[in-house]
Amino acid sequence: MKLVQVLLICTALKPNYGQSSWNGEISRKATLADIKILRVNMYGEPYYMRVGHEVNPNRSHFDIHVQLNRELGSNYLIMNIKLRSKPEDSKSFVTLFELKRLDFCGFLTEYKDNSMLRSMIRKSMQLSHIIVCPLRTGNFSIRNISVTENLYPENLQKGLYKFFVEIVEATGEIAKIFAMQVTTALYCC
């Protein structure tokens, strides 16, 4: 539920960068030349799944493929999300935001039931089908995950950005089930 609230607040506060009816100024969205995916690192606990990814040749988006070998969701699954930034002239990364202990199955239920949330997320990626808990064995894909669809370079500093997401089984012997880190570079503003 926290994630839904954050997404709704971000959407409400996102400035309108279309054509202004007041002064005729036009601002642009991020272009492929502005933002590039440098690296995608993924981990899937072999007991539960096999994971893979493909980055598009123009480095603007990527796909995730998961082959789930065992059912998930009967235990408590939590999701942690973090975004870190290293501005162009800086030597270290700083945390921009961090969300901990989000109920992963609760997020999937909210996604399934909330058309506004689905439309916001669909701008940035395409699910092979709506995923619900418990997660059944089978193949899942998330395609065309893009960072350029919802970003405006005017609001960001040049530099590197690292997005982390992990899914952890809070009550199991194997803590980390899935982890992903996406490193992106913003070249111009």
More confident residue, 4 or 152: 152
Average pLDDT taken over every residue of the chain = 78
Q: Return the pLDDT at 64.
A: 94
pLDDT of residue 18: 38
pLDDT for 85 equals 94
Domain ranges of the chain: 2-186
Is 2.70.220 the CATH classification of the domain at 2-186? yes
Mean per-residue pLDDT, 153-165: 86
Residue 124 corresponds to which amino acid?
S
**Mean pLDDT computed over 24-51:** 78
pLDDT score at 121: 64
